[in-house]
């Protein structure tokens, strides 16, 4: 069963259970998936679905930060609950040590030296670790590897 089919089944389960918070988040995710399919006239595979889930989680994290600055904990809590639902659709993430090791291996493989090679390294890392690691963590690891 594809990830998109699993999300649809989870929506049906949430509807039956009358779990309105979970249902709202899943509908939001399905709307984002459908929008991407319509805009680009394609059928999404699991990798593309994971990328969209990642994007939605990043948006939620940014919103939480903004809501906390504005002292709106009620809205921040709602966004945090949505993150929990969305994270269920992501594969198991690599640990910080695994990300650092993978980045160092790619830097060595490419022979990258210094911050000028950041784009080249990020392109290779993104291709290899997409969906497996938090890209902000990956970016920090690349900066650290190129600085040393």
Helix or strand or coil: residue 44?
A: coil
Written as six digits, the tokens of 60 are 């939620």
At residue 31, the pLDDT reads 96
Range of the domain at 118: 96-147
The confidence score (pLDDT) of residue 59 equals 94
pLDDT at res. 60: 95
Q: The whole model's pTM is what?
A: 0.76
58 and 106: one domain?
no
> What pLDDT score was predicted for residue 32?
95
Q: Tell me, what's the pLDDT at 123?
A: 81
How many domains does the chain contain in total?
2
Average pLDDT across each block of 10 residues of the chain; the chain has 148 residues. List them in order.
91 95 95 94 88 91 94 94 92 81 83 76 79 79 80
CATH code (residue 48) = 1.10.1510.10
Quote the distance between the C-alpha of residue 90 and its chain's center.
7
Give the DSSP letter string of 91-145. PPPPPHHHHHHHHHHHHHHHT--SGGGHHHHHHHHHHHHTTTS-HHHHHHHHHHH
Is residue 69 domain-shared with residue 100, that is, in the same domain? no
Do 9 and 81 lie in a common domain? yes
What pLDDT is recorded for position 83? 94
């Amino acid at each position: 069963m594809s990830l998109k089919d699993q999300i649809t089944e989870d929506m049906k389960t949430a509807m039956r259970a009358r779990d309105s918070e979970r249902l709202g988040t899943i509908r939001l995710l399905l709307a984002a998936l459908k929008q991407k399919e319509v805009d680009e006239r394609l059928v999404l595979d699991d990798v593309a679905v994971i990328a969209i889930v990642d994007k939605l989680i990043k948006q939620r994290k940014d919103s939480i930060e903004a809501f906390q600055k504005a002292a709106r904990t009620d809205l921040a809590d709602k966004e945090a609950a949505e993150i929990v639902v969305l994270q269920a659709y992501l594969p198991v993430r690599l640990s910080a040590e695994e990300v650092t090791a993978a980045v160092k291996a790619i830097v060595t493989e490419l022979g990258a030296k210094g911050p000028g090679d950041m784009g080249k390294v990020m392109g290779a890392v993104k291709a290899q670790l997409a969906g497996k690691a938090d890209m902000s963590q990956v970016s920090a690891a690349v900066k650290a590897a190129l600085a040393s």
